[in-house]
Structure 1
Amino acid sequence: MATARRHTATGPDPLPDGAAVRHEALHGLPDIARPATVSTDDARRLSVALFVRLAELEEGTPEHAYVRNTLIELNISLVRFAARRFRNRAEPAEDIVQIGTIGLIKAIDRFDPERGTDFSAFALPTVIGEMKRYFRDTSWAVRVPRRLQELRIDVAKAVDTLEQQLGHRPSRAELADHLHLSEEGVAEGELASNGYVARSLDAPCGDAGADPGAGSRHLATAEPSYELIEYLESLKPLLARLDARDRTILSLRFGEDLTQAQIGARLGLSQMHVSRLLARILHELRDGLLAEPAATEDGTDG
């Protein structure tokens, strides 16, 4: 590849290799010195242009890698935002961010800018899913092969299904017949359940005939209401910053489920005006959620 050149007072001067790659990769787009420090609004705007440029470049080239890496750095705040929901886990926050970054990279590689979808809305489920997958795979008290992890789930589901059909707790032979396994295979799945959660030696003993995995299944059930509460708590300070009209518009739209035209009629505004106001309000709330928390004087997050 020919080395890019720049013109100086004394004539054309070749750019260093790294600068040449950057120059060719950006192709007229602004050079971002520190992508991770760019504001959320600027990151979103720049990402749109960079995704278009990424689609133009050949995968595997240095230019493609440069634009891809810039997109990762620009959107790392999205990963940090997603990591906050797991802040009560024992794992270090930076480890969770690293796992989430894998999801971010997958989202970047799959994103199609021509669909007109906002990248943060597209990427967030993938980032969170990668984190959940990590916790799912590492939440066992002892390391259990994935085959046995999946077998444990199959056995647990079969127990629930057959118990409803038969009216009693299924025997190992009945489970084996239902799953098309040998009784030894079912026994492996039941044994794997013991590795899913470590019970305290001081815990009271339950029913001697209880399925060893029954308790772990209930403990591992996700409670969606907790996630909703977390989102609402994160939104509270952001909603408090809005003026009365903006809060009213949100209440009418999402509380009373009114259409934009109905909101306009209620407030004496055109439907188009309501649409613009809603877009601005939601944009501000999303930016607030994605923004990094301010550090207090003692170094903790405020």
Structure 2
Amino acid sequence: MGTEGLPVLESPRKVAPKDARELSKVFFDRLAVMEEGTHEYQYARNTLIEMNMSLVRYAAGRFRAARGDEMEDIVQVGTIGLIKAIDRFDLSREVEFTSFAIPYIVGEIKRFFRDTSWAVHVPRRLQEARVELAKATEELSSRLGRAPSVAELATLMDLSEDEVIEARIASNGYNSASLDAAVGSDGEDDGEALADFIGVEDPALELFEDFHTLAPLLVELDDRSRRILHLRFVEELTQTQIGNELGISQMHVSRLLSRNLERLRKGMLAQA
């Protein structure tokens, strides 16, 4: 045992997810009674972060297709969400930390995508030049059977070579690929394009995201509010039946339901 009776883990990131869930409960239990800012507190907090990095990698992996070469940045942003979840988690709420943390992690990643469509600030004229450069490159590549030179691009685009180079540099601030691009490493056109490999959206995925967004919001409700929601939407009781079980009027049940549903709705919209 190490600091404050906690186990010493040489490589917290190598702890299996199943073991991490159980160990996290131990660390959260001790963290709740430690004085913030102490060495013991920092050890427990940092170990929780390292042990639960698998949650960040899982969430980040869902965005790999969008910006695959920025995975390191996405993981770093997701880690911020993980840290927020650790700092706000309350073990007494009796909710799994995994369910609590995922919405925070995904929320941070989504904000990153929303705020960084371009990885760096690029003047509008260069953003427009990037589009023209892509078109010219595709046209000349098809015509010449090879990658065009800067001089050839400059002639076609009616720009100076320096302007073509500048546009190329600007294009590094944004990543895109045509859905009509042929797939295959041999360069032969077999009639298959990238778009052919894009699957349909699974409705269950949206339900999964909604559930994990809702979980921490439910934790913030009082016990009676959560009980009413459970009776109404899980056990599917009527408002009158709920009132009879809790000893309150049907109108009171209706008001409580409306108030809490509105609170949950606003909370989910705020994280969208």
Provide TM-score, normalisation by structure 2.
0.46
